[in-house]
Amino acid sequence: MFLEIVLAVLLGLLAGTITGLVPGVHVNLVTALVMGGSSVLSSRLSSFALASFLVSMGMVHTFLDAIPSVFLGAPEDAYALGVLPGHRYVLRGQGVMAVKLTVLGSLLSLVGVAVLSPVLFVVFPVLAGLVKGVVGWVLLGVVVFMLARERRRVWGVVVFGLSSLLGVVVFASGVRDPLFPMLSGLFGVSTLVYSLFQRESFPDQAVRSDMVVRWGVVVQACVLAVVAGSLTALLPGVGAATAAVLALQLSRGLGDHGFMVLVGGISTVNFGASLITLATIGRARNGVVVGVQSLLGRVGFADVFVLGVVGVVAGGVGVVLALFLAKRFVVLLRRVPYSWLAGGVVGFLVVLSAVLGGFRGLLVLVTAAGTGLIPAVTRTARVHAMGCIMTPVMLSLLF
């Protein structure tokens, strides 16, 4: 049994590395493949070993998906808001530092949620009863507060309104894998296209440099990550991207340094705390945990303890992999002119959107990219573009 779980964890680390580094290859896709072939796989591996594979994959993925988000501008939902700060680090020759900060946030926040897990086991069932029915109103309050703090309020409303309309239409249209073209357009393609028009170049990246850690900012970001990530793991319909928006409204003194720590931490906490949500209230809040629930049925404290250990081990390996692969990534990028790199990434995202979603996926990407250019040109906070996710969630919860 032990060796079986070790093998499953190792395979999960490999799968999570692939899903983390390759845009468009999502952990939910691999989870669906595992579930589809579970009848065959169960003859070789136990259900718990398969669940360990999924947890290992999902956890290491949260450490590695910062690399394409920072260097390629190809974000998943948790890292969408981190694209622009990460891009600024890259343009300063500090892309590796940006990845280090997200890894630091992931690691410290994982330790935090692991230490607090006994408390969360007690608190989650109580909170689940208290917040039921008010989540939509809370999100609405966050949106109003977010727009009220925007200095260019009119443009903030315009960006939020257009992105909200885009999100509602996209989710209602039945586009396959709708988040990929929408978020890639809003936060990835728009950033890269704007940088090309600004004639930005890809500077030499510092591969081996001492990272000056602003510990006060890091601790603040990790506390916010643990709180926001845990709450959104508990709340229905609220994902890691919304958690980033919530946390951002609680503090504006983080800067790029703290924000990269924040988005890394939220992604990891959201995944880890979802296992506690499954055990305490029987609800699965992401695709990987849905797979775990399907494999194991009722998940108890002992199951979560072992899966939690698997997650912590995978997180530790994820730290090493992320730091190593980020440096290898930089060595590769040094050989490519920035205009070629940016153009190539845009072309890759266009092709992948077409492959995943057909003509409608391509249309979503182009429309989202046009919308994403508005905050860049008007110097408006890009957080308002998260209306593409927040508004559909609010509508589903309120009506």
Q: What is the pLDDT of residue 252?
A: 65
Higher pLDDT, 256 or 367: 367
Mean pLDDT of all residues in 136-154? 83
Q: What is the pLDDT of residue 75?
A: 54
Q: What is the pLDDT of residue 195?
A: 72
Collect all residues with Cβ–Cβ distance below 8 Å to 384 and sequence separation of at least 6.
Answer: 146, 147, 150, 156, 157, 159, 160, 163, 375
- Summarised one tens digit per residue, pLDDT across range 277-298 is 988 988 877 778 888 888 888 8
pLDDT at 137 over 60: yes
Mean pLDDT of all residues in 97-115? 93
Q: What percent of the chain has pLDDT over 90?
A: 29
Q: What is the pLDDT of residue 258?
A: 85
Higher pLDDT, 280 or 91: 280
- Helix segments in the chain, DSSP class H: 2-21, 27-36, 38-41, 47-64, 66-72, 83-91, 95-131, 135-148, 153-173, 179-183, 190-197, 215-234, 240-250, 255-281, 287-296, 301-333, 338-378, 387-398
Among the listed residues 94, 100, 91, the one whose alpha carbon sits nearest the alpha carbon of residue 66: 100
- Summarised one tens digit per residue, pLDDT across range 296-353 is 888 888 888 999 999 999 999 999 999 999 988 888 777 777 677 778 878 888 888 8
| Lowest mean pLDDT across 53-57, 150-154, 265-269, 285-289 | 285-289
Mean pLDDT of all residues in 184-192? 81
Q: How far is CA 393 from the centre of its chain?
A: 17
Overall number of domains in the chain: 1
- Which phi and psi (to 5°) does residue 162 adopt? -65, -45
- State the pLDDT confidence band at 158, using cuts at 50, 70 and 90: very high
Contact 83, 69 (CB under 8 A): yes
Compute the mean pLDDT over every residue in the chain, rounded to the nearest whole number: 83
Q: 73-82, 255-264, 274-283, 316-325: which has the highest mean pLDDT?
A: 316-325
Mean pLDDT of all residues in 258-276? 89
Q: What is the pLDDT of residue 157?
A: 93
Contact 339, 196 (CB under 8 A): yes
- State the pLDDT confidence band at 393, using cuts at 50, 70 and 90: confident
Contact 175, 368 (CB under 8 A): no
- State the pLDDT confidence band at 154, using cuts at 50, 70 and 90: very high
- State the pLDDT confidence band at 390, using cuts at 50, 70 and 90: confident
Higher pLDDT, 63 or 287: 63
pLDDT at 217 over 70: yes
pLDDT at 134 over 70: yes
- State the pLDDT confidence band at 138, using cuts at 50, 70 and 90: confident
Q: What is the SS3 assignment for 300? A: coil
- State the pLDDT confidence band at 32, using cuts at 50, 70 and 90: confident
Higher pLDDT, 36 or 159: 159
Q: 200-209, 257-266, 335-344: which has the highest mean pLDDT?
A: 257-266
Q: What is the pLDDT of residue 81?
A: 54
Residue 41 belongs to domain spanning? 2-398
Q: What is the pLDDT of residue 80?
A: 52
pTM, to two decimals: 0.80
- State the pLDDT confidence band at 209, using cuts at 50, 70 and 90: low
- State the pLDDT confidence band at 76, using cuts at 50, 70 and 90: low
